[in-house]
Amino acid sequence: MSSLGKGIASASIGTLLQARGYSVRMKKLDPYINVDPGTMSPYKHGEVFVMEDGCEADLDFGHYERFTGVQCTADDSLTTGKVYEKVLLQERRGDYLGSDVQVIPHITNEIKNFIMAGHERVDFTICEIGGTVGDIEGLPYIEAIRQLKISLGSAGAACVHLTYLPYMKTSEELKTKPTQHSVKLLQSMGVQPDIILCRCEKEVSDEIKAKLSMFCNVKKENVVEALDAESIYLIPRRYHLAGLDRQVCVHFGLETPELEERAEVKICEKWGAVEHAIRMPSKAVKIAVVGKYTKLKDAYISLSQAICHGGIAHDARVEIDWVDAGMDQRDIENRLRAASGVLVPGGFDISGAEGKIAAIKFAREKKIPFFGICFGLQLAVIESCRNVGGATSATSREFSDNGEMVIDFMDKWELNGTIEARNPSGAKGGTMRLGSYLCKISVGTLAHKIYAATETTERHRHRFEVNIKKYKELFAKADLHFSGMSADGLLPEIVERRDHPFFIATQAHPEFKSHPFAPHPLFSSFIKAAIDHSAR
Ligand code: GLN
């Protein structure tokens, strides 16, 4: 079921196999009918992760990239919508002339092709299947892996089933029935799991493992405990100690005692420092994140991870205070007073925008370190135009058609030498400025100091831009400095204020490129500024 941690489990298998010297590629099959999650609500589905190539994908891809360091591409993310879109286009083109198009074999063939595409370049392809066993939408995927397991043989594929062992407080025991039934359901579809990963909040006894082994037709060593952990970065080693990667390797005939010993050393080398920083930080700092989706933490998962990485960089535990931008301005300010840094993340539409603008004003005036991301940059520009530049009607086209449109709809921009064009009433799916774009950084600015470079690339996901063509003078009056510009010099990418110890905002989403092993410089310098601020 969802929230069980299939994404983290897949990412953990990936990183553990890497530590054993293997190359991996991470993929995901999502059973929903949307072509991508780009138009879904972050409230229901969590964050939309943006890949380097601009693919809008499930948040699990963030875990894959953070755990393995391997960049995913549009070819790694499949949804039912995407499969059907492809098959139907092929049908219209006449590729299936003479035959009726069916789930088996046409849809299942596409799914198998997707899983195997690019596999020749790596040792392991790890492919997660979203959803729950038995879901109607998931049936073609289960059927596809059944077929694939036959063609690849046991030495070519392993099936890991993640299940839940609920703990009954009254009888103080872990229950195995849901796992038994879920496995039975899988078996009825022709798929026998090779390894069962049991998510649980209490240790799984030998007795329970033996019981699951017997009822589920799986070797006892292949019933692996997946205990809850206080941080996701403690999970890879925990799963390793429970024997997950060892059993995967045993399945493929890749295991010897010497290799096992070396794996132990390598995994400690890889994850030890991160674990130490998470477990025993020497400092603590509090950051207020002022946003709209503060009740569902998954809506900002890459953001909260990048903030945590910033803490790892400075040996600090970062407590995030999720401030609901819809609250009364006074209440927002009271919360910000207790924080050492204010972050306004990405967001959409007018609701909550005024609360975020008030938060930016407070951080600017009280000289609290401020970091704006995407929507956060746009609102920071509006705030400075209104309250420093005197343009009280400064606004964004996203909110209204009246006022000074300092943030406006972008109808044309350049992407790798070609012009991308949009119109305001055009389709909404996959049409934002998406993916990696070059940013040129001016020497001597805060951005230059942070990146220690004059060029960088960051991932984008937005429709609106700073209207520098029309409002150059107003921006100068508002004391806004555009320290990063797009490659063609036309679009502001980074803005900062010089009358403040740390006030910076970026039009891109740097959180997608931060890793526990390589914290993003913007996040690590923001956390550093917050630590310095709290020491004052
Ligand atoms: N809503 C803004 C835009 O579309 C910002 C988007 C974002 O923060 N990702 O331009």
Residue 523's domain comprises 283-535
- Asked if pLDDT for residue 413 goes beyond 80, the answer is no
Residue located nearest, by CA, to atom 7 of ligand 1? 346
Q: Which helix (H) or strand (E) holds 282?
A: none
Confirm or reject: Cβ of 461 under 6 Å from ligand 1.
Answer: yes
Q: What is the pLDDT of residue 127?
A: 98
Element spanning 360, H or E? helix 353-365
SS3 (DSSP) at 403: coil
Query: Which CATH number goes with the domain that contains 346?
Result: 3.40.50.880
DSSP-derived letter for residue 171 is: T
Ligand 1 contact via 462 beta carbon (within 6 Å): yes
Domain boundary among 157, 183, 208: 157
Q: How far apart are CA 536 and CA 528, in angstroms?
A: 13
**What ligand 1 atom has the least distance to the C-alpha of 398?**
1
Tell whether 229 is covered by a domain: no
Residue 495 located in a structural domain: yes
- Whole-model pTM: value is 0.96
Given a cut of 90, whether residue 332 has pLDDT beyond it is yes
Please report the pLDDT score of residue 27 as a whole number. Answer: 98
pLDDT tens for each residue of 19-61: 999 999 999 999 999 998 888 888 788 899 999 999 999 999 9
- The percent of residues in the chain predicted with pLDDT above 90, rounded, is 87
Alpha-carbon separation of residue 90 from 113, 114, 116, 140, 144 (angstroms): 15, 15, 20, 19, 19
Task: List pLDDT tens digits, range 345-401.
Answer: 999 999 999 999 999 999 999 999 999 999 999 999 999 999 999 999 999 999 999
- CATH code for the domain of 127: 3.40.50.300
The per-residue pLDDT for 42 is 81
Could you read off the pLDDT of 55-90 as tens digits, one per residue? 999 999 999 999 999 999 999 999 999 999 999 999
pLDDT at 344 over 90: yes
| Annotation marks residue 161 as catalytic | no
Kindly list the strands in the beta sheet with 160-164, ordered across the sheet, starting from the edge strand earlier in the chain.
Answer: 160-164, 195-200, 223-227
Average pLDDT, the chain: 95
Phi/psi of residue 361, nearest 5 degrees: -60, -45
Q: What is the mean pLDDT of residues 154-158?
A: 94
Over residues 230-245, the pLDDT tens digits come to 999 999 999 999 999 9
Q: How far is CA 500 from CA 147, 371, 479, in A?
A: 61, 12, 11
Residue nearest to atom 1 of ligand 1 (CA): 348
Last residue of a domain, one of 96, 125, 157: 157
**Which residue out of 348, 466, 511, 512 has the highest number of ligand 1 atoms within 8 Å of its CB and is therefore the one to mutate?**
348
* Segment (H or E) for 190: none
Q: Which residue has the higher pLDDT, 415 or 155?
A: 155
Is the C-beta atom of 463 inside 6 A of ligand 1?
yes
How deeply is 89 buried, as exposed, middle or buried, from its count of CB atoms within 10 A (0-12, 13-18, 19+)? exposed
Q: Is residue 446 part of a domain?
A: yes
Q: What is the dihedral of CA 488, 491, 496, 497, to 10 degrees?
A: 110
Q: Is 512 helix (H, G, I), strand (E, B) or coil?
A: helix
Give CA–CA dist 465/521, Å, rounded.
23
Q: Which of 232, 233, 235, 236 is nearest to 263 (CA)?
A: 236
State the Cα–Cα distance between residues 509 and 45, nearest whole angstrom: 19
- In this structure, is residue 376 part of a structural domain? yes
**How many domains is the chain partitioned into structurally?**
2
In the listed set 96, 129, 157, which residue is the last one of a domain according to the structure?
157
In a domain, residue 176? The reply is no
Q: Write the residue with the smallest CA distance to atom 5 of ligand 1.
A: 375
**Active-site choice (374, 439, 460, 465):** 374
* Residue 416 pLDDT greater than 80, yes or no: no
**Is 159 one of the catalytic residues?**
no
Give 167-207 pLDDT, tens digit per residue: 999 999 999 999 999 999 999 999 999 999 999 999 999 99
Which of 48, 395, 464, 506 is the best mutation target for the ligand 1 pocket, counting ligand atoms within 8 Å of the beta carbon and taking the most?
464
